[in-house]
Amino acid sequence: MEKLIIQGGTCLQGEITASGSKNAALPILAATLLCEGPTTITNLPHLQDVITSIELLGSLGVEVGVHQQHKIEVDARRLDSLTAPYDLVRKMRASILVLGPMLSRWGEANVSFPGGCAIGSRPVDLHLQGLEAMGATIVIEDGYIRATCSGRLVGCSISMSTVSVGATENLMMAAALAEGTTVLENAAREPEILDLANCLNAWGARVTGAGTQTMAIEGVASMTGGDYRVMPDRIEIGTYLAAAAATRGRVRVAGAAPWALGAVLAKLRETGARIDTGDSWVELDMLGRRPRAVSLTTAPYPAFPTDMQAQLTAVNAIAEGVGIVTETVFENRLMQVQELRRMGADISIDGNTARVQGVVRLQGAQVMASDLRASASLVIAGMAAEGETCVDEIYHIDRGYERLEEKLHHLGAKIKRIPG
């Protein structure tokens, strides 16, 4: 297994450009299955999860042309298979997002039942309940979700008991080709939901209300396809800003969408950072000062995002004062804490809350990545620490951060990847 070796004590300085959003790209890739005409997607991040999604489309018989690293052309006019196989779904849970579009377009979809992962059990009951409400018959057998519907799905009103990004996305795509209108109540409002809605509409769907708690999707007979550019990755951007705060540096991220980072920028300002924004850039300047500790509670957008919790925990680990971090979205998303403790962090956990007493300096150590964002927090801690940190199991990072070492190196970090 490859590892990252980080020499701490650097102060990140400079400018990088954001990549396309992983969490917008994955549903948009699934949405190509809805289209009878060709689709072209640009600003795709070059990430393992995107590669896995492209492999999944290929396994269904979709023609995918990868022309440049960040642009693909997809032709889903016909499929050879309606089954998303276990060996791909187990690599990436988000494969469940092909269920809705495949069922809606072809009346059948078989998707290996996605397992849980390090951060939680990750159920898909809301996905399945919504599809059944639209007329699907769903049977779980041999570890697969087997969904069928006679004729088209039928639009209806669906109220989701929990705010779920993935369930909202799956049902948006299923509703796009359904008979009649579907109303989604308690829909997720994340910027990636809005990006998917804009993409669906560009390809011929009729989605309104995206970004609010109530969305309406008026089913259309067919979708033509077309072009779409994926939005910037707000979590990648937030991660680099958190790294700048932890290392007392000054970093500007170009190609950004500051509007999608409201809660994150507000929390970073509370650390004492100076933050400036433009239409498509954001800059954090820590003014060479040690950050102040901040308290936060994760919740669905527009609240503070769970995908930034581990990174701010790392900032708190070296901040002045005590920060209380409460994770309410996933049941097991504080695993970075045990590794940060190995670096000298003073953190106690009570249920889903971490009490972080900032220390002046962390010590470099050998640490283990457990999931994507916990890995990012260990890299941040390693750059702020004294001495050398070795982060193992970094395949987690490659799922969600494009050219991480290259971008950090450009900002002055002493970081290199070595073979395991």
Q: CB burial class (10 A; 0-12, 13-18, 19+) of residue 99?
A: buried
Binding of residue 400 to ligand EPZ (CB under 6 A): yes
Beta-sheet pairing, 353-357 with 346-350? antiparallel
Q: What are phi and psi of 185, to 5 degrees?
A: -95, 145
Stretch that binds ligand EPZ, among 37-45, 125-133, 247-255, 385-393 (CB under 6 A): 125-133
Stretch that binds ligand EPZ, among 30-38, 60-68, 157-165, 361-369 (CB under 6 A): 157-165
Cα 113 from Cα 143, distance rounded (Å): 6
> Of the listed 11, 117, 156, 390, which one is catalytic?
117
195: helix, coil or strand? helix
117 labelled catalytic? yes
User: Which of 9, 120, 180, 387 lies at the binding interface for ligand EPZ (CB under 6 A)?
Assistant: 120
Question: CB 203 → ligand EPZ: shortest distance, Å?
Answer: 19
Binding of residue 396 to ligand EPZ (CB under 6 A): no
Question: CB 25 → ligand EPZ: shortest distance, Å?
Answer: 9
Pick out residues in 127-146 that bind ligand EPZ (CB under 6 A): 127
Nearest residue to 206 via CA among 191, 192, 222, 190 = 222
Q: What is the CA radius of gyration of the chain?
A: 21
- In DSSP terms, 73 is beta-bridged to 40, 65
What are 272's two structure tokens? 């004492």
CA 385 to centroid of chain Cα atoms = 27
What are 361's two structure tokens? 């300096």
Instruction: Give yes or no for a cis peptide into 302 (omega within 30° of 0).
Output: yes
Binding of residue 311 to ligand EPZ (CB under 6 A): no
Stretch that binds ligand EPZ, among 18-26, 151-159, 214-222, 318-326 (CB under 6 A): 18-26
Q: Say if residues 340 and 316 touch (Cβ distance below 8 Å).
A: no
CA 8 to centroid of chain Cα atoms = 27
Q: Which is nearer to ligand EPZ, 203 or 304 (CB)?
A: 304
Cα 335 from Cα 321, distance rounded (Å): 22
Pick out residues in 281-310 that bind ligand EPZ (CB under 6 A): 306-307
With residue 26 as reference, give the H or E element that holds it: helix 22-31
Total interface residues for ligand EPZ by CB under 6 A: 24
Question: CB 192 → ligand EPZ: shortest distance, Å?
Answer: 6
Stretch that binds ligand EPZ, among 65-73, 124-132, 198-206, 409-417 (CB under 6 A): 124-132
Binding of residue 329 to ligand EPZ (CB under 6 A): yes
Binding of residue 167 to ligand EPZ (CB under 6 A): yes
214: helix, coil or strand? strand
Q: Which is nearer to ligand EPZ, 286 or 335 (CB)?
A: 335
Binding of residue 373 to ligand EPZ (CB under 6 A): yes
Q: Which is nearer to ligand EPZ, 354 or 376 (CB)?
A: 376
Task: Catalogue the active-site residues.
Answer: 117
Residues that bind ligand EPZ (CB under 6 A): 22-23, 26, 94, 120, 122-127, 162, 164-167, 188, 306-307, 329-330, 372-373, 400
